[in-house]
């Protein structure tokens, strides 16, 4: 019996996706208006903010998921987490 995986596309589970998104480095700094700016150096398109550090981080994690999905849909490379 021969198994061929070249034509099979495996989708990661929600838990695996969450772990991958959490693996990307998120930088958070306080903005001049009292909010917190969150960016992801590996994915320059990820820039968001929140009223607290926790909120900024949560928004950044969601934005990382969106950035990865957009890159995959467009056929662009997805960088490996640092």
What tens digit of pLDDT does each residue of 29-81 get? Answer: 999 999 999 999 999 999 999 999 999 999 999 899 899 989 999 999 999 88
Full domain range(s) for residue 28: 14-74
Instruction: Flag whether pLDDT at 19 surpasses 80.
Output: no
- Is residue 22 a part of any domain in this protein? yes
SS (H, E, C) 32-68: CCCCEEEECCCCCCCEEEECCHHHHHHHHHHHHHHHH
Question: How confident is the model at residue 17, as a pLDDT?
Answer: 64
Q: What is the CATH number of the domain that holds 48?
A: 3.30.160
- Is residue 3 a part of any domain in this protein? no
Instruction: Flag whether pLDDT at 3 surpasses 90.
Output: no
Question: How confident is the model at residue 15, as a pLDDT?
Answer: 67
- Is residue 70 a part of any domain in this protein? yes
- Is residue 1 a part of any domain in this protein? no
Domain count, the chain: 1
């Amino acid at each position: 019996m021969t198994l061929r995986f070249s034509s099979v596309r495996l989708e990661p589970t929600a838990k695996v996706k969450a772990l991958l998104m959490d693996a990307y480095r998120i930088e958070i700094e306080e903005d001049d208006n009292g909010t917190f700016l969150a960016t992801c150096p590996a994915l320059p398109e990820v820039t968001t903010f929140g009223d607290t550090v926790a909120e900024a981080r949560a928004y950044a994690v969601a934005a990382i998921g969106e950035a990865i999905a957009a890159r995959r849909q467009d056929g662009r490379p997805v960088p490996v987490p640092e």
